[in-house]
Chain A
Amino acid sequence: MDKNLGKENNEKIYRFSQEGKELGISNNVLAFSLLSAIEEASNYFTELLLSKCGNPTLMRNISARIYNERVIKYELFLAIYYVMQNYDVETIIERARLLSSKWMNIRRGYIDVSDEDLDEIETYYTNYDTMEKVISELNKDESCDILNTLVQI
């Protein structure tokens, strides 16, 4: 996958959700599109790491596994976010699990999305730029280390 496509996709989907809000589209649909934007953002971060690492075996295995697993995309996005907040490791694992499973239920349409839920998803998404920046600063070894661990989730 072209990494710029992931970036372009998530930004477009986010804009769509913002316009949808003004049109009075229901929370469930808005949450669905915001979560899609987060998935695309997570794909984009993975693509960034893959291009830095440059290991073709990792690339084939990551694209075969991770891109099909929505829950891993959420967990990766949330883990990066919480690491940036400098939480301790247990808190990060617990929060990332809880929230990613809630998002899975929202994405499957099992939960009626409240205004608070919607704000929460949006708050996470709006940190996208800062997350992109810290990932861009990683070196080759760091990127490979993260991917080697990610492929085992």
Chain B
Amino acid sequence: MEEHIRYIIEGYTTQRVEDIEDGLRSHLTNLDDNVKIRKVGYKVSLSFRTPATANIMQCEDIDELLSKLGVMVTRIIVSRVVTYEYATDTEAVSKRLNVNLLIAALSDGKTVERGEGIILSCKKRDGKWIRI
């Protein structure tokens, strides 16, 4: 089982997804392959993770970094997550909902990433970051 910190960031941009990812990687050297950036129109959502031992970036720091990359950030969620290989449940035939299987299906692929709790979440209101 491995622990990580996952950042989920929503915002707006006119930049290309590839450029944002390159910029992100050059500023944050501790990212793994699991970087997801989705852009629909000008709306963008970014999701990446750092090792559990890395310092947790505060909303203002994340905002400053991403504004350099041309992203206007509106919302940030930082969570502690654990990843592990999904093993088939032997008692899956029971009538209860198989929560492990559901979590595996909701996270991305064979390696399960389960959220362990939100550490920090904030959004921008009137130009200031507020914790929510």
Are B121 and A61 closer than 8 Å at their CB atoms?
yes
Q: Is B116 part of the binding interface, using a Cβ–Cβ cutoff of 8 Å?
A: yes
The chain A residue sitting closest to B121, CB to CB, is A61
Q: Is B113 part of the binding interface, using a Cβ–Cβ cutoff of 8 Å?
A: yes
Contact flag A145-B105 (CB < 8 Å), given A60-B121, A80-B97, A138-B97: no
In the complex, what residues of B have CB within 8 A of residue A82's CB? 105
Contact flag A145-B103 (CB < 8 Å), given A60-B121, A138-B97, A152-B6: yes
The chain B residue sitting closest to A91, CB to CB, is B105
In the complex, what residues of B have CB within 8 A of residue A60's CB? 121, 132
Are B114 and A135 closer than 8 Å at their CB atoms?
no
Interface residue total, chain A, C-beta cutoff 8 A: 34
Are B116 and A148 closer than 8 Å at their CB atoms?
yes
Are A61 and B106 closer than 8 Å at their CB atoms?
no
Binary flags per residue of A82-101, CB closer than 8 Å to B gives 1, else 0: 11101011101100100000
Which of these, B88, B99, B113, B132, contacts A61 with CB under 8 Å?
A: B132
A95 to chain B, nearest CB (A): 10
